[in-house]
Each structure stands twice: as C-alpha cells, then as structure tokens.
Structure 1
Amino acid sequence: MKNPLPITGFIQRYEWGGVRFIPSLLGTDNPDLKPFAELWLGSHPKGMSKVHTDAGEVDLDRLIAADPGGLLGPATAKTYHNRLPFLFKVLDVRKMLSIQAHPTKAEAEAGFRRENEEGIPPEASNRIYKDDNHKPEAMVALTDFWLLHGFKTDKAIAEILSEVSEFRALSPFFVNHDIRTLYRHIMEMPQEEVDRMLGPLQHRLQQEVRRGPVSKDHPDYWAFQAFEDYTREGHFDRGIFSIYLFNLVRLYPGEGIYQDAGIPHAYLEGVNVELMANSDNVFRGGLTPKHIDVPELLAHLGFEPVVPRVIQAVNAGQHESAYPTPAPDFALSVIDLKAGELQEEVLFRGPAIYLVLEGSVSAGNRDYAKGEAFIAFFGAEFGIRGKKGSRLFKATVG
C-alpha cells in the first residue's frame, strides 16, 4: 500500500473527560455534553481504529494481520510480534486522572502471564495487566497542561513535611530521607488514619478558597480539587498526599514530557497529544474509585527523585519538528505547512499515523480536513501538501 489511507479513531468516554475539545476537533455535535476523554488511533483491542480501504472499512489489527511484514516492515514485524508498536491519542482532561505508573516490558509480560494463569477476566475491576506490553509515554501540550511527574527531591519533601502542618506526623518516616519508607507508610495507612490526617487539611483549604483564589502553581489548588472530586462518604483519598510529594509541572502549548516505566504521574488539567507503546497497563496510587493494588504498586514504583525534563521540539526537516525520547517503540513529531508547501514522506522504519490538528492537507490522492487522520505503511513514499495553514502530528516507529 503505497498511498496513505483514511483512519477513524475510537472515542473513550471516561467520566473525567472534557466535553468540547475533541467534538470540536472532529466536527461532531455534543448537545448532551457527554465526556469525550480520549481519541485513540491504533490497534489496541480496547479501542480499535478502522481503516478505510478500497474494499471497505476494516479493523486496523485485521489489516496488519493479513500482511504484517509488508505493512509494518520486516524488522518492526519481527521485533513487535506482528503488532503495531504504538498507540496515538488526544486527551482532554477536565477532572484530574488517577495517580499511576506503568510496568517495564519484563514486568508486563510476567504480570500478564500470572493474571491469565489466575483466571482473572480481562475486564475484571481488579485486573492490572490488560496486555503483555510496557507503556512508556510521550505527550505534547495543546493547551496549558498541568500534571504531577515523579517524586520531588529529598530536600523538597523534607520541606513539605515541615511546612504543611497536617503532614508533620509523617516526618519520622522520612528521617533517613527514604522516599520508599515514607510512601509505603502513606499507602498502607488504615483509612481511619488517612481521614484523621487529611480532615484538618481539607478544613484549612476550604477556608483558603473562601478568602480568595488559590494559584494553580501551588499544590493546595489541586488538593482542594481532589477533596471536592474524590471524597466519598466522608472518607478522603490518600492520593492527596502525592499531590504534595510529586513535582507539579506546567507545560505550555508545544512543550512535551516523557514518562518511562515506574515514574509516578497524574494528569491534572488540559489537552494534549500523547504517544505511547501499545498498552493499557496501569498501576494506580490514588485519586480514583478504581482498584488500587498497593503491593503491586510499591513493587514496581520508582522512588528516586525526579527533576522534570520538559521536551522542546527540535528541527527534523524543513517542515517537521520532533520530540526526542529514548523509547524505541515510537517517535512523535509535528509537521507545519503553509498553503502550497510540500512535505515528502518516505517510511523506511515502519508505519505512521498522521492527525490533522489545524487547517487541511492533501496526502496521496485524498484531502484531509481538521480532525481527520490517515495511516501509511512501511515503504510508502508520498507527499503531504498544505492547503492552508496546516499542522499535523505524526506518530511512527522509533
């Protein structure tokens, strides 16, 4: 298949999702204000994309299965067991997501095999390993985007335990600056103790908010939101502790960040483009009504302090800018074209999915408007021509 083909994504309607950005992108009405949380472009079984071929519409995984070596390329097909190695998404985060981390490839394979042997159904609420793959992630902000990313430095955590009066009782568990010991204690505390510690914090934050707005660059803002969203039957979510222990990061539009296995993180607010290995494996650590397996989380979490590294786009050609990461599974870039400008594409590593974020383009023998996507396979050579000021995100093999 030398020409690109149109591809239709799958909408995930998680309750934390926004109601406007993705419908606007797709040109879809949403009069009932239903959540459009994520747009998935890929071949994951939880959200399969449809490819529009001359013979009709077909699931992407079925299309690849008919000729994996030809469509993925021999090397990619061999390395990734005849599967598309990446999953491409747009996220609209209206309400903060759960605190989470993801496994390494070896951890995912072992965990997936173990849960299969234990007979845990794939859709069971206590199922952690939905597949056998790791899930490194790269994201680029489309709006101002707020997230938690990795543990703060030892010094910063010590200051938090001193300055936040409600947390001073935790100081004995950080006497040797051992983040693991501190976090284990927080995650294993009885719920009654969690409520006893967080109750005074909730009361103080309510008073602060009554006095005036709290800045988003302070953990108090997000803790207050978490109290509002995740307090159930008078019980507080222990994930609120993590809001103070993790780095609070603000990304401006066009900035990116990379999250490898084991790095705890949580998306708080904003819209982004996200590219990851083809997986849905998550260890949760709070800010969620979903199942939290504390022993599994603690066994796989990275407890080293993290200094967030914001990724700036680097030049990758006349019209293309790339967001470099160490992940071999994927590569993310953006293509900007003025009217009439041409981007030549030669896919010698593997397939690529393109999503038009702004304007419109022609690619191969078709036109694509804002919100439309297309896929091209290994060996394809074609041009993308801007029809007016256009921006596309490109997801391909690393």
Structure 2
Amino acid sequence: MDRLTNTIRPYAWGSTTALPTLLGVEPTGEPQAELWMGAHPGAPSRVDRGAGERSLAEVIAADPEGELGAATVAKFGPRLPFLFKILAAGAPLSLQVHPDLAQAKAGFEDEERRGIPIDAAHRNYKDPNHKPEMICAITPFDGLCGFRSPQASADLFEGLGVGSLKPYADLLRAHPEEAALREVLTAVLSADREQMARTVAETAAAAERLGGEYATYAALVHEYPGDPGVIAAMLLNHVRLQPGEALFLGAGVPHAYFDGLGVELLANSDNVLRAGLTPKHVDVPELLKIVKFEPSDPTVMRPEGDGGEEVYEAPIDEFRLSRFLLAPGGAPQVLGDGAPQILLCTAGSVQAGELALAPGGSAFVPAGEKVELSGNGTVFRATVVV
C-alpha cells in the first residue's frame, strides 16, 4: 500500500479554515476547496515506491491489472473508476447537474468533433463519463438536492410578496409537475438579465425581512447578486446533513452545496452543467436536456453495519463508500477483496498496515493486498463493486 500525497484545489468557494483545521496546519488565508485522492488527470495523487514520487495515474497505467485487479479492469477499463475528495465549502457552489453515461459520451464526442479545446471556458464535457456522486458530512453540511413539489415552490414564491415572482408561481400551479418545473426553470434562466437582476434584488430584500426559511436565499444574493440561480434555487429542496449522514446524487438531479466539510465520492469524471450561482459558463439549452424534472424528497442516508464496516448503499458500481469507527482495544479490521481501495482518516489516529494516518491522511491499497486497520479514530473506505 502507498501513502498518498494529494493536491488541494483552491476554488473561490472553498473555506479558508476547514481543511487546514482538519489537517492540523496553519491556514494560508486563501480558499482551500477540495482535496483530491485518486488518479483523475486533473490532479492525480502521487505515490513514492522508493524511486521518487510518481503520479498514481502513471502507476496504474503501467500495470492496470496489477494495481486495479483483473475484475475491475474487465468491468471499468484500465483506470481507477472513482475519484475521492474532501470537500470544504465556505460559500455556495454552483447550482448544477451531471449527465448520464450516454449523454456524457455523446456530448464529449460532439465537442471533440467541433474542435472545442478541453480547457475552453464554454466546454461542457471534459470526458466521456458520467458523474454520479455521494456526499457524506464530516461537519453539519448544508445544500440543495432535487426539486420540491411545484406547489411547495409556488407557496415559497408567493410568501415573499414579490410581484415579479407571481407569474412563476402561477405557472407552477397551472401545469402537471414535470411540465411546470421545466417551464419555470426555462423562464428563469432565459429571462432578460436586467429584469432578472431586479427580481433577485427584490427577492433578497423580502427574504432578509422575513428571515426563517428565506434566510438561505438572502445569503445566496450576497454571494451572487443578480444571479438567476437564486430564483432557480427556490425550486429545490433545502437539506442539512448531520455528521455521518449522506446523500446520493444520480444523473440529472439538480443540486448545490452551501457550507460544511464532507467526504465526496464520485465516478471519475469532471462533467458539470451549471444552472446558476456561478460566474462560469451556463449553457441553458444543453442543461435542459440533462435535467430530470421530477420532484422528490431527498433520501438522507445513514451507514448500515454493526460493529465493523458501515456501508453507505448506493445504486452504482463505480464506487462503494463505507466507514470504520475504530476504538482502542478493538479487534483489527482486515480489508482486501481483490479491488483497489483508498483509505482516508478523518478523525483520531489510526494504523493502516504499516502506515500511521492522521486526519486528512490517505493511502492507496492495490487490488489483492490486505491491510489491517486499528487505532482510535474514523476511516472512510472508497472502493468499487466487482
């Protein structure tokens, strides 16, 4: 097994303190948004097997079956199928959705054919893969997940008493659920920018005056004044996760994260279609192809298990997330099932084989290797289903 050296991504929405506090280091004063663990080409982890540090992506490419196991390669190809992260939100992330596998392949091939550079600001598809994901809270974690019922959103709009929101409320009440949500989101994102900026400002003033459940939307305006995503966010469910609770987000489900520290596990992709709360490119026609206009109540997940590995069940094979709560004197947990693993310590002090892991420390375990976990702390395990 290998200790991982990982990259921290300094996105503007990142917290300046959450990751340094977890890692036990001094803050730099700059946002530190995501710590990436894995072999994604955007920021692969590094390992040292005695000849200096090498990219984990290079190590896997040199011997896919040796690192990932024959079953993983046969099922997913010669690359690590997942990307593991610690996500530290200090400000709202963009309101976004991810494509399914067929949409990602078609979108990627189309943009390649049209010669759009992979790093172009208006590029939608960075790779031909889908991006189902799971977020598990380390600290209390706020966000949005999936559409409310149109009636609930109409009530929310009407409660603000803002005249320019009334047409949206009327549309939400006048049509079947899917058609209503599609029509209102399309209208919000396609509205005249100046007119929408006035609506957002009026909404913010009303939300600040009313407080309560409206306070979330008033806060969004401080980060993204005039952004239509503020109005779009009111169509979604507001969710607050407690430590240890998780959400699974499949293709087409609109979502945004607001605040908190969490472990995120996702398929090895960086495909994002944005709907707002961002200065980045918003491709409304493409977005509307991807969004699933289905109201639903978010399913907050808790790990299942008794005394050993606690699993967060998800309908996906590219990744599997589980947790170990280790206590002094407890029997060591023996891991290893022929699939690659990344182990991440988030609290306490634990021993993973010969490696001591402190909070934020992680290790890559190649397929076929077994490792014993012991100590006093919390370890998250990312692996695949084969």
TM-score (norm 1): 0.91
Aligned twin of 2:183: 181
Where in structure 2 are the equivalents of 1:193-208 lying within 5 Å? 193-208=195-210
Q: Distance in 2 between matches of 1:368 and 1:205?
A: 45
Cα distance, 1:368 vs. partner? 2.3
Number of residues paired by the alignment? 379
Q: Distance in 1 between matches of 2:103 and 2:356?
A: 43
Aligned twin of 1:268: 258
* Contact persistence 1:22–1:36 (CA under 8 A): yes
Cα distance, 1:173 vs. partner? 2.8
Amino acid across the alignment from 1:153:
S
Distance 1:142 1:73, change over 3 A: same
* Superposed CA offset, 1:266-319 (max 9, x none): 00111111100011110000000000000010011010101100001100x632
Q: Distance in 2 between matches of 1:346 and 1:124?
A: 42
Q: Distance in 2 between matches of 1:203 and 1:318?
A: 50
Q: Distance in 2 between matches of 1:344 and 1:392?
A: 11
Aligned twin of 1:211: none
* Contact persistence 1:352–1:394 (CA under 8 A): yes
* Contact persistence 1:346–1:379 (CA under 8 A): no
Distance 1:370 1:342, change over 3 A: farther
Task: Specify which of 346, 357, 378 is matched with residue 346 of structure 2.
Answer: 357
Cα distance, 1:29 vs. partner? 2.1
Aligned twin of 2:215: 221
Q: Distance in 2 between matches of 1:345 and 1:351?
A: 14
Q: Distance in 2 between matches of 1:193 and 1:299?
A: 25
Q: Are 1:116 and 2:112 matched, yes or no?
A: yes
Cα distance, 1:172 vs. partner? 4.0
Q: Any idea what SS the aligned residue of 1:394 has?
A: strand
Q: Are 1:392 and 2:386 matched, yes or no?
A: no
Amino acid across the alignment from 2:377:
S
Cα distance, 1:244 vs. partner? 1.5
Amino acid across the alignment from 1:114:
D
* Contact persistence 1:344–1:381 (CA under 8 A): no
Cα distance, 1:28 vs. partner? 2.6
RMSD, aligned α-carbons: 1.6
Aligned twin of 1:285: 275
Q: Are 1:336 and 2:330 matched, yes or no?
A: no
* Contact persistence 2:154–2:170 (CA under 8 A): no
Q: Any idea what SS the aligned residue of 2:25 has?
A: coil
Q: Any idea what SS the aligned residue of 1:8 has?
A: coil
Distance 1:179 1:205, change over 3 A: closer
* Contact persistence 2:321–2:381 (CA under 8 A): yes
Distance 1:65 1:342, change over 3 A: farther
Q: Are 1:77 and 2:67 matched, yes or no?
A: no
* Contact persistence 1:333–1:395 (CA under 8 A): yes
Task: For structure 1, list consecutive stretches of 5 or more residues without a partner in the other structure.
Answer: 209-213
* Superposed CA offset, 1:114-166 (max 9, x none): 11111111111101111111110111111111111011013312323433322
Amino acid across the alignment from 1:131:
D
Amino acid across the alignment from 1:145:
F
Q: Any idea what SS the aligned residue of 2:307 has?
A: coil
Of all paired residues, the percent bearing the same amino acid is: 38
Where in structure 2 are the equivalents of 1:368-379 lying within 5 Å? 368-379=357-368
* Contact persistence 1:319–1:343 (CA under 8 A): no
Cα distance, 1:345 vs. partner? 3.1
Distance 1:339 1:294, change over 3 A: same
Q: Any idea what SS the aligned residue of 1:89 has?
A: strand
Aligned twin of 1:38: 34
* Contact persistence 2:145–2:255 (CA under 8 A): yes
Q: Distance in 1 between matches of 2:204 and 2:16?
A: 28
Q: Distance in 2 between matches of 1:362 and 1:56?
A: 23
Amino acid across the alignment from 1:14:
Y
Q: Any idea what SS the aligned residue of 2:116 has?
A: coil
Aligned twin of 2:242: 252
TM-score (norm 2): 0.94
